[in-house]
Amino acid sequence: MDTLQKKISFIKESKQVNTKFFKKTIQLVGISVGIFIGAWLPFDSSSAATAPEQTTFLLEQSSENSPFLPSSDSTLQQLYTHSSALELANMVRTKQVSSAELVAVALQQVRQENPQLNAVITLRETAALKEANELEDHGQPFLGVPLLLKGLGQTLKGESNTNGLIFSKDQLAGGTSSFVKGLQEAGFILIGQTNFPELGYKNITDSPLYGPTHNPWNHAYQAGGSSGGAGASVAAGMVPIASGSDAGGSIRIPASWTGTIGLKPSRGVLIGNSAAERGQAVHFALTKTMQDTETLFHALKIPERLQTDPTPLKNLKIGYSTKSPVGTPVSSEAIQAVENAVTFLRTQGFEVEEVNNPIDGVALMKNYYTIASSSASIANFLANQKLKRNLIIEDVDLLTWALYQTGTTITKEQVNAAWEENGRMAALMGEFHQTYPLFLTPTTAWPAPKVGDSLLTAEHVEKMNHITDLSAEERQQLIYDQWLPALTLSPFTQQMNLTGEAAISLPTHLTAEGLPLGIQFNAAKGQDERLIQMGKLFEEEGQFKQTVSPDNSKEDHEESQTTTTTPAIELPVDPPVEEVPAANLAPIAPLEALPAGSNPESTERVSIKTKDTPLSTETRLPKTHEKEFLFDPILLGLLFIFSSLYCLKKEPELN
C-alpha cells in the first residue's frame, strides 16, 4: 500500500498547476474557444475530423456502452501503466478499483498505442468486460488483471486461431488450451491476442497476414519474434504481462529487444507444457517485474517436476561467454552488456569465470533445422483441412514454403538421429552445470533489425522460389544458408529448447542508439528458481533499464515508413463464438536461423513491403462518426464557457 500511495502522490504532484497564474488565462481561452466552436464550426463544412485508419475502424467497432475513461481522468491510466500486475491485483482485491475499470484502461491503451505498433491483432471487449464484472475473489494472485494472449498456439474457445496463415484468417478455436485455462485460474482477464510471424518460424514478427510489429523504443525497429506482439504490448504499457511461447528463443528474443523480462521455463515444469523428451516449445510470458515473473511461475508450476537446492545463490559459480556458439560475429554492445553484468556480479561477491560453451553449436543448429523442416508439414495438413488441396507457394510465407519442401526430403531416421544427439548434448550440459550452475551470455548478439529487413538475401530468395528444383541435400543446405543472417542476430537461445534447460533474458543494457539489449542466464533443467533469484538480484540492485523514452520511440519513424508499410489491421472485436472444427495445434515456433559467418551490418538483404496502408496515412472519419466526433458544437461551446467561468470560483482538483 505504501508503494501504491507513493505512485498516486507522485502522479498527483506532477499534475499540480499554479492556478492563480493560469486562472485568467483559462477563462479567456475557454470563452474564446467556446465562441469559436459554438458560432463558427456548425457552418464550416471543411472541418471534418481525421484519424489514423486503424483508429477509425476501432471507433466503428466500439460498443455503444463503451467503458473508456474520460480523457480528463488520466490518473488511473498512468497508475495502470506504471504498476505491476500484482499491484493492480491488490487494487482490485482491496476495492480501490474494479477489474472492469482496469480492462477499460487496458483497452484504451491498446487503442492509443497499437496504431503505431501493430502489436495486437484481436480484442474481445464485451467478453472481457463481462468476465471482469462476474469475477469472484478466490485468492487468485492476479485477480482481475488484463492480459494479452499470444495469437499462436494458445487457444481460447471461440477466438481467432489462424496460425498466421492467410487461408485460415477466419478460423476460430474449438477449445481452450490447458495453459490458457491456467492463466484464467490465476485471475487474469484475457482482453485479446498479440501478433506473431506465420507459424512462429522467425525471430522477427512480419506476418503476411497481420503485418510487422514495431518496437516501442523506436518504431523503425522490429520487436522480435515470434512473441513480438507480446514484447511490444508489455513495453508500451498496454498490459503488465503478455503470454508468449518459446521453441527457439521466441520469449527471450523479444524480451531482449523490447526491454522486458523473458523467462523460458524448463521443459514440462508448468501447466500446459509438455514434459516429453522431444518437447521443444514452452509457454510462459513476458513481464515488467521479477515479482510478477516469480508469482506467475509459482501459479503455473508442477512442483514435482522442479528441483530444490538450498545452496545460497552467492555460493554458485558462474560461467560466462560472449562467443557465438556457431562462430558468427557478436556486437560490441552485446559484449559490453555481458561484461557489465560480470563486473556487477563480482562486486556482489560471486565467483565468475570466462568459459567456452561445451556444445558444438553448428551441430546443434543442424539438428534444429532438421526438426524444423520435418515439422513444417503442418502447413500442408492445415491447407488440406481448409482448402481441400495440397499447399502451393502462393498460400504461405516463402520461408514456410521452403521448410515444407525441405521437410518432404527428411526421413524419420534423420529426425530420430537429431533428437538422439540432442539428448547427448543435454547430458553434456548437465555435467557442465555441476561446475557452473549458472551460465551467462548475451540474449541476442545484436540489437533489433529494422522493420522491413526480411533477413534474407536476394540470392536465397531466388533459390527458395525454385526449391523444388533442388536435391534433398541442396534443400537442406539452403535452409541452413538462408537462416544465417537471422541466426547471426540471435545464436544463443536455441540450445535451451533442444536440451530442455531453463533460461531467462534480463533487460540490463541500452545501446548507444537507445535500443534495449538483454543478457541471458541459463541453468540446469528444473533449476528455474535460480534464474528467478538472479533476476531479482539484478532488479533490486538497479541493474534493469526499462524506461521507454516517448521521444526516442518516434526516432526514425519516418524512415520506417519508407522501408515498409503496415496493413490497416482491423482488430476483430468480439468475433461470433462459432465453433469451427480446427486443428488446435501449437506448431513448433519459432525457428530463428543457422550457422556461422557474416556480419549482419554488411549483408545485402531483401527489403520487404506489405501491401495495404502505411502507418502515416490519415483518412476522414465516416460522416456518421464526424458528427459523433464533433459532438454538438453549440453545447460544446457553452460547456467551455461555463467551465472557464467556474475556474473563478474553484481551484482545480485532482480526484
Q: What is the pLDDT of residues 462-472, one digit of tens each?
A: 999 999 999 99
Phi-psi region of 347 (alpha: psi -120 to 50; beta: other; left: phi over 0): alpha
Does residue 505 carry a catalytic annotation?
no
- Which is higher by pLDDT, 28 or 466? 466
Per-residue confidence band for 7, with pLDDT thresholds at 50, 70 and 90: low
Residues 6 or more apart from 463 whose CB is under 8 A from it?
470, 478, 482
pLDDT of residue 574: 47
pLDDT of residue 655: 35
Instruction: Identify the three-state secondary structure at position 227.
Output: coil
R_g of the chain computed on alpha carbons: 25
pLDDT of residue 604: 57
Distance CA 88, CA 98 (A): 10
Does residue 643 carry a catalytic annotation?
no
pLDDT of residue 21: 42
pLDDT of residue 5: 59
Cβ distance 216 to 197 under 8 Å?
A: no
pLDDT of residue 3: 56
pLDDT of residue 10: 52
Catalytic residue among 250, 266, 331, 560: 250
Backbone φ and ψ of 362, nearest 5°: -65, -45
- Which is higher by pLDDT, 534 or 578? 534
Backbone φ and ψ of 570, nearest 5°: -90, 110
Per-residue pLDDT for 531 more than 90? yes
Does residue 226 carry a catalytic annotation?
yes
CA distance to 90, 287, 291, 512, 534, per residue, from 86 (Å): 6, 11, 8, 33, 20
Q: What is the pLDDT of residues 245-267, one digit of tens each?
A: 999 999 999 999 999 999 999 99
pLDDT of residue 307: 83
Residue % of the chain over a pLDDT of 70: 72
Distance CA 556, CA 558 (A): 5
pLDDT of residue 46: 31
CA distance to 23, 46, 524, 645, 648, per residue, from 36 (Å): 20, 15, 69, 16, 21
pTM equals: 0.80
For the chain, give me the number of helices (H) and strands (E)?
25, 17
Cβ distance 362 to 323 under 8 Å?
A: no
pLDDT of residue 547: 76
Q: What is the pLDDT of residues 266-322, one digit of tens each?
A: 999 999 999 999 999 999 999 999 999 999 999 999 988 888 888 899 999 999 999
Distance CA 167, CA 165 (A): 5
DSSP labels, 502-564: EEEEEEEEE-TTS-EEEEEEEE-TT-HHHHHHHHHHHHHTT----PPPHHHHTTTHHHHHHH-
Once rounded to an integer, what is the mean pLDDT over residues 593-613? 44
Work out whether the CA dihedral 567, 573, 578, 584 comes out positive or negative: positive
Q: What mean pLDDT, rounded, does the chain reach?
A: 82
The answer to which of 103-117, 123-137, 517-531, 621-635 has the lowest mean pLDDT is 621-635
Strand positions, DSSP E, 61-202? 120-123, 146-150, 189-194
Tell me which fold the domain 74-311+529-541 belongs to. Amidase signature (AS) enzymes (3.90.1300)
Per-residue pLDDT for 19 more than 90? no
Per-residue pLDDT for 646 more than 90? no
CA distance to 118, 473, 557, 620, per residue, from 379 (Å): 24, 22, 34, 39
- Sorted by where each begins, the domain ranges of the chain are 74-311+529-541
pLDDT of residue 201: 97
- Which is higher by pLDDT, 4 or 400? 400
Instruction: Identify the three-state secondary structure at position 567.
Output: coil
Distance CA 520, CA 523 (A): 10
Return the H-helix or E-strand segment holding 332: helix 332-347
Per-residue pLDDT for 593 more than 70? no
Catalytic residue among 83, 84, 150, 331: 150
Per-residue pLDDT for 1 more than 90? no
Catalytic residue among 226, 266, 375, 505: 226
Once rounded to an integer, what is the mean pLDDT over residues 518-542? 98
pLDDT of residue 633: 39
